[in-house]
Chain A
Amino acid sequence: MKRSTFVLTASVIASFAGAAVAGPAAMTPEEARHLISRTGFGASPQEIKALTGLSYKEGVAAILDTVNTTPSTPMPDWVNGPDYPEVYIWTLGQTAQELFFTNRWMEIEELSGWWMSEMVATPSPLTERLTLFWHDHFATSYESVENAQWMGRQNQFFRAHAAGNFADLAHGILQDPAMLIYLSNIENIAESPNENLGREFLELFTLGEGRGYTQADVEAAARALTGHSIAELSAPVYTFYPEDHDDGRKSLLGQTGSFDAADLADIALAHPEFGPYIVEKLWRAFISDQPDPAEVARLSTLWREHDLELEPLLRAMLLSDAFWAPENRGRLVKSPVVLIAGTLRSLGTPVENSTGLAWLAHDMGQALFFPPNVGGWPEGVGWINDASATARATTLSYFAFGEMDDDVGTRTPMMAATSGGSAPAEGGPEDFRVGQVFTVDLEQTDAGLGGLFVLYDVSFEGQTWRSLPIWVEANTQEDYAGYSILKADCRPTCFRSMRGEEEEDWIWYGPWEGALEDDLSAASKQDIRLLQAIAGHLPGLIEITGDQMAWKPGPGETMPGIGEIVAMVQDLADESADAIGSTKTTLVQGLRAPGLLGLQGYAEVRDVDDIDGYLEQAEQARIRPAIPQVTYATAREWLNDLPAGGLDSKRAAAALLAVPRQTRGQREELIAEDVDALVRALILSPEYQVH
Chain B
Amino acid sequence: MHTPSRRRFLSALGAGAASLPLITMPGFVAAVGQDLPKGKTLVLIELAGGNDGLNTVIPVTDPAYRGLRPEIGIAAADALRLDDDTALHGAMRACADIWEQGALQIVEGVGYPNPNRSHFRSIEIWNAGQGADSLARDGWIASAFADGRAPQPADVSGLVLGGEMGPLSGDGRFSAMRDEETFLETIENLPHMRHAVRPERAQSPLEHVLRTYDSAQVTGDVITRKLEQSSARHFEFPDSELGVQLRTAARLLEAGVEVPVLKVVQGGYDTHDNQPDEHAFLLADLSASMGAFADAMRQIGLWDDVTIVTYSEFGRTARENGSYGTDHGTAAPVFVAGGQVAGGFGGRRVALDQLVDDDLVHTTDYRDLYAGLLQDLWGITSPQAAQAIKLHHRV
A residues at B contact (CB < 8 Å): 183-184, 187-189, 191-196, 199, 203, 209-210, 215, 218, 289, 330-333, 372-375, 378, 380-382, 384-391, 393-394, 396-397, 659, 664, 681, 684-687, 689-690
Contacts and interface: CB of A to CB of B under 8 A. Distances in A.
Given A184-B273, A374-B119, A386 B175 contact: yes
Interface string B208-227: 11101101100110000000
Contacts of B205: 289, 330-333, 380-381, 690
B229 interface: no
A142 to B, nearest CB: 14
B204 A194 contact: no
A372 B204 CA distance: 25
A192 B322 contact: yes
B183 interface: yes
B216 A187 contact: no
A357 B121 CA distance: 33
Contacts, number: 135
A397 B186 CA distance: 10
Contact of B322 (A189, A196, A199): A189
Contacts of A333: 205, 208-209
A429 B36 CA distance: 87
B209 A386 contact: no
A196 B272 contact: yes
Interface in B146-191: 160, 164-165, 175-178, 182-183, 185-187, 189-191
A498 B358 CA distance: 51
B192 to A, nearest CB: 10
A460 B113 CA distance: 66
A107 to B, nearest CB: 23
Given A187-B272, A386-B219, A393 B189 contact: yes
A419 to B, nearest CB: 30
B117 A199 contact: yes
B208 A390 contact: no
**Considering residues B182, B208, B209, which has the most beta carbons from chain A within 10 angstroms of its beta carbon?**
B209
A88 B167 CA distance: 44
B120 A386 contact: no
Contacts of A391: 182, 186
A203 B220 contact: no
B191 A685 contact: yes
Contact of A387 (B178, B209, B327, B357): B178
B190 A373 contact: no
Contacts of A289: 205
A125 to B, nearest CB: 21
Contacts of B164: 378, 382
Contact of B327 (A196, A372, A390, A681): A196
Contact of A384 (B160, B185, B212): B212
Contacts of B357: 215
Given A184-B325, A393-B191, 16 more contacts: A191-B322, A194-B272, A194-B327, A196-B327, A199-B117, A289-B205, A330-B204, A331-B205, A375-B119, A385-B212, A386-B177, A386-B216, A387-B176, A387-B177, A389-B209, A681-B191
A397 B327 CA distance: 45
Contact of B186 (A374, A390, A659, A664): A390
Nearest to A197: B272
B206 A194 contact: no
Nearest to A387: B176
A333 B165 CA distance: 17
A389 B206 contact: no
B329 to A, nearest CB: 11
A187 B117 contact: no
Contacts of A664: 193
A386 B272 contact: no
Given A196-B327, A690-B205, A390 B220 contact: yes
B160 A385 contact: yes
Interface in B350-384: 357
Nearest to A397: B189
Contacts of A194: 272-273, 321-323, 325, 327
A384 B209 contact: yes
A387 B121 contact: no
A31 to B, nearest CB: 19
B24 interface: no
Smallest CB-CB A-B distances: 5 pairs: A192-B322, A187-B323, A386-B216, A385-B176, A184-B272
A386 B220 contact: yes
Contacts of B185: 394
Contacts of A330: 204-206
Contacts of A203: 118
Contacts of B323: 184, 187-188, 192, 194
A192 B321 contact: yes
Contact of A386 (B182, B191, B210, B212): B212
A684 B188 CA distance: 12
Interface string B116-130: 011111000000000
Contacts of B204: 330-331
B322 to A, nearest CB: 2
B202 interface: yes
B273 A389 contact: no
Contacts of B176: 385-388
Given A196-B272, A389-B213, A686 B206 contact: yes
Nearest to A192: B322
B74 to A, nearest CB: 15
Contacts of A689: 206, 209
20 contacts: A184-B325, A187-B323, A209-B118, A209-B120, A215-B357, A332-B205, A373-B49, A373-B119, A384-B208, A385-B212, A386-B220, A389-B212, A389-B216, A390-B186, A684-B189, A686-B206, A686-B209, A686-B213, A690-B205, A690-B206
B206 A659 contact: yes
B193 A393 contact: no
B279 interface: no
A387 B118 contact: no
A184 B328 CA distance: 13
Contacts of A188: 323
B328 A394 contact: no
Contacts of A690: 205-206, 209
B259 to A, nearest CB: 13
A228 to B, nearest CB: 14
A263 to B, nearest CB: 22
A382 B204 CA distance: 13
A470 to B, nearest CB: 28
Contact of A187 (B215, B219, B325): B325
Contacts of A183: 272
Contact of A195 (B119, B121, B212, B328): B328
B209 A390 contact: no
Interface string B317-337: 000011101011000000000
B190 A390 contact: yes
A387 B183 CA distance: 8
Given A192-B321, A196-B272, A690-B209, A385 B175 contact: yes
B344 to A, nearest CB: 34
Contacts of A191: 322
A390 B183 contact: yes
Contact of B117 (A215, A332, A388, A685): A215
A659 B204 CA distance: 12
Contacts of B175: 385-387
Contacts of B190: 389-390, 393
Given A184-B273, A333-B205, A690-B206, A387 B120 contact: no
A380 B98 CA distance: 41
Contacts of A210: 121
A679 B117 CA distance: 48
Contacts of A373: 48-49, 119, 267, 270
A210 to B, nearest CB: 8
Nearest to B120: A375
A189 B118 CA distance: 22
**Considering residues A187, A203, A333, A687, which has the most beta carbons from chain B within 10 angstroms of its beta carbon?**
A187
